[in-house]
Amino acid sequence: MDWLPHITVATIVEDNGRFLMVEELKGARAVLNQPAGHLDPNETLIEAAIRETLEETGWDVEPTGVTGIYLYTAPSNGVTYQRVCFTAKALKHHPDYQLDDGIVGAKWLTRDELLEQRDNWRSELIIRCIDDYLAGNHFSLELIRPSL
């Protein structure tokens, strides 16, 4: 059997205790996630995080660090994802930006508000990343080494 893990990025953007989240359609239901997505060919992880955040939220961001690198196997389909989670600061919002297909919109939510909506999480990774961020896991962007 071929095992093909998916490389993904996610971005934690925090503003006064609220986190930039994405409401997106997965199947026929709306779920919450960080701005996140797959690494594209010929793209760095940092470029992917910036692109995915813009495409899913309409926000330009500047990555400031790495929160963690996570391995997750989705129980729904058995696919394994390696997620590199970045922290970033919001720079500019583009309210008229055409968001990716399947994106309902962006929301700013506190951790408590996220916990109230646990049934709507795309995966357990969203709270794990936020909790790691809140615990002070902020690693330098120098951790990410682009290809030669």
Quick one: tokens of 144? 């990410």
pLDDT of residue 1: 60
Judge whether residue 28 has pLDDT over 90: no
User: What's residue 74's pLDDT?
Assistant: 84
The closest alpha carbon to 134, from 112, 106, 107, belongs to: 112
Asked whether the predicted pLDDT for residue 148 surpasses 80, the reply is no
Q: What domains are there in the chain, each with its CATH number? A: 6-143 (3.90.79.10)
Q: What's the confidence (pLDDT) of residue 5?
A: 77
Q: What pLDDT is attached to residue 97?
A: 95
CA distance 38 to 40: 6
Among residues 37, 31, 8, 33, the alpha carbon closest in space to that of 20 is found at 33
Residue 21 has a pLDDT of: 98
pLDDT digits (tens, 9 = 90+) for 34-77: 999 999 999 999 999 999 999 999 999 999 999 999 999 988 88
| Per-residue pLDDT tens digits for 85-138 | 999 999 999 999 999 999 999 999 999 999 999 999 999 999 999 999 999 999
Count of residues in the chain: 148
